[in-house]
Structure 1
Amino acid sequence: MKQFQNFEEENIHYWTGRTDGYSNVNQEELASDQKTVWGRVLAEKIAAHFPKKAPEEIRVLDIGTGPGFFAILLAELGYQVTAVDYTASMLEAAAENAKETAEKIRFLQMNAEKLEFAENSFDVIVSRNLTWNLHHPEEAYREWVRVLKKNGLLLNFDANWYRYLWDEKAQKEHEKDRKNLSTSDVRDETEGTDVAAMEAIARQTPLSEKQRPEWDLTVLRVAGMEAKADPEIWKAVWTKEERINNASTPMFLVEGVKKDA
């Protein structure tokens, strides 16, 4: 087994290896109804918060863009989009997936926990399936709040992906998911992935054992955000495949607004 000097090196190595498979998933989403579903959810949330602003007036930061799904959607909808990821191969895949839309997106390699932007730079921050994977998620949230403008909007979609490693009840539910999946007519989303390697990383990430989104709300409020959660957002955005694969770990939305003072 390859020896790593630190968590960041291990994490980048893993996600570099996952790039092609993850990019294929994003390509499928972009070619399916998921593009419309997610585009509508994001646009409605942003429009509701900025009713007097046109998309081209709104600066959006996509943190942990991966192969670019959110960035591409939002750029096509007319928003000013900057997309960051810590893994170079993910950014390369994102630019390829964006095709001609890539010219409208600023892609930057950057650590989500140490953003290289000035304070009050963005109107909106979006992220999907990232925070669980961070080594210092509390620091990341503080950084995200820092670069948001006053009254800026945060939309973070995530789940308690690896809580089953720490919680006996969650473990039993996870095993039930795997059993139900084996008798279903949908694809196993873990096919082609190194589950053991991912679990090894998850054991080092503090959010794997936290109860979320309660943890997120507490941290964001301390950081100066008005925050709320929608634990049923999965009902609006997940496919049948996602619902069966991840029945015991439903996606939630953490939505925050940066206070004026």
Structure 2
Amino acid sequence: MELLDKIEEYWTGRAEGYSQVNQGELATEQREKWKKNLMSHLKGKKPEETKVLDIGTGPGFFAIILAEAGYQVTAVDYTEEMLKEAKQNAGKLAGKIHWQQMDAQNLAFASETFDVVVSRNLTWNLEKPEKAYGEWIRVLKKGGILLNYDANWYHHLFDQEKRRAYEEDRARVEELQLSDHYTCTDIDAMEEIAREVPLSRIARPTWDKQVLGQFSPNQVLVEEEVWKEVWSEEEKANYQSTPMFLIIVEK
């Protein structure tokens, strides 16, 4: 089976469970935390005049928040089941969001179509992340902004120090009697994919800055402590060894 097919099969199986995670975020203070963070980077852009592309929307979390705030949202995902969950989660907002099944590495949009491109926890899981970044910048209008939230997911498979920290996370979660976000999934299948995708082996966000610098004449910014603003206490316990960062590119 080709890697892209493996990735699609895995996330098809995860769609319902991942959707429940997003539903929990939408029903708690996480919704406002994320909305506040997103809005802080979109100041000066009138929602009704701003076209946003949510890449790898999954069960629709970003798309729903942004559509609710009045932005013109297009949401894409490679997995059909994820889009079904997203539409259901969006409820009455579903009709205001343009949904499309699409490969993040091969976007079927004209160049300079969107004012904003957003993504969360996707880049690490791509077969050709450098190509994806080129596509994301291509579809951005001049003056547009890319917001990419991600982390060094599964880097512990290739780094002994990270592995020790990962095991400490698992022990902490057990001690606090919290849900373990790793063992609640098909961890064997995910680790098999993680060993094949390139970014599991690479220390980020240094790599991201270097690659995006090739596509954008402007400075690539990184917020390495964004996790403190947007994660729940349970997420902080689960992922202390893998802090989320934010990549910001203005075209």
TM-score (norm 2): 0.98
**Counterpart in 2 of 1:239?**
232
Aligned partners of 1:238, 1:61: CA distance in 2, in Å?
Answer: 23
1:171-224 deviations in whole A, cap 9, x for unaligned? 111111111111013211134411010000000110001110110011001112
Please tell me whether residue 65 in structure 1 is matched to residue 76 in structure 2: no
**Counterpart in 2 of 1:41?**
37
Aligned partners of 1:192, 1:150: CA distance in 2, in Å?
Answer: 42
1:1-58 deviations in whole A, cap 9, x for unaligned? xxx2x001111100000000000000011111111110111011111xxx2x311110
Q: State the one-letter code of the partner of 1:249.
A: T
Given that residues 60 and 123 in structure 1 are in contact (C-alpha distance below 8 angstroms), is that contact kept between their aligned partners in structure 2?
Answer: yes
Q: Partner of 2:111: helix, strand, or coil?
A: coil
Of 106, 109, 112 in structure 1, the residue corresponding to residue 104 of structure 2 is 112
How far off its partner does 1:126 sit? 0.4
Please tell me whether residue 11 in structure 1 is matched to residue 3 in structure 2: no
Aligned partners of 2:210, 2:34: CA distance in 1, in Å?
Answer: 27
Q: State the one-letter code of the partner of 1:28.
A: G
Name the count of aligned residue pairs. Answer: 250
Q: State the one-letter code of the partner of 1:116.
A: A
Aligned partners of 1:77, 1:133: CA distance in 2, in Å?
Answer: 28
Q: State the one-letter code of the partner of 1:26.
A: N
Aligned partners of 1:245, 1:121: CA distance in 2, in Å?
Answer: 37
Aligned partners of 2:17, 2:184: CA distance in 1, in Å?
Answer: 8
Q: State the one-letter code of the partner of 1:123.
A: D
**Counterpart in 2 of 1:200?**
192
Q: Partner of 2:42: helix, strand, or coil?
A: helix
**Counterpart in 2 of 1:129?**
121
How far off its partner does 1:65 sit? 0.1
Q: Partner of 1:46: helix, strand, or coil?
A: coil
Aligned partners of 1:142, 1:190: CA distance in 2, in Å?
Answer: 30
**Counterpart in 1 of 2:139?**
147
RMSD: 0.8
Q: Which runs of 5+ in 2 are unaligned?
A: none
How far off its partner does 1:251 sit? 0.4
Of 173, 179, 184 in structure 2, the residue corresponding to residue 181 of structure 1 is 173
Aligned partners of 2:112, 2:222: CA distance in 1, in Å?
Answer: 23
Aligned partners of 2:178, 2:157: CA distance in 1, in Å?
Answer: 24
Aligned partners of 1:195, 1:25: CA distance in 2, in Å?
Answer: 17
Q: Partner of 2:178: helix, strand, or coil?
A: coil
Please tell me whether residue 77 in structure 1 is matched to residue 43 in structure 2: no
Q: State the one-letter code of the partner of 2:126.
A: L
Aligned partners of 2:168, 2:37: CA distance in 1, in Å?
Answer: 30
Q: Which runs of 5+ in 1 are unaligned?
A: none
Aligned partners of 1:103, 1:217: CA distance in 2, in Å?
Answer: 36
Aligned partners of 1:247, 1:192: CA distance in 2, in Å?
Answer: 17
Of 7, 22, 28 in structure 2, the residue corresponding to residue 26 of structure 1 is 22
Aligned partners of 2:5, 2:177: CA distance in 1, in Å?
Answer: 37
**Counterpart in 2 of 1:171?**
163
1:68-92 deviations in whole A, cap 9, x for unaligned? 0000000000000000000000000
**Counterpart in 2 of 1:252?**
245
Aligned partners of 2:179, 2:170: CA distance in 1, in Å?
Answer: 11
How far off its partner does 1:226 sit? 2.4
Aligned partners of 2:163, 2:37: CA distance in 1, in Å?
Answer: 31
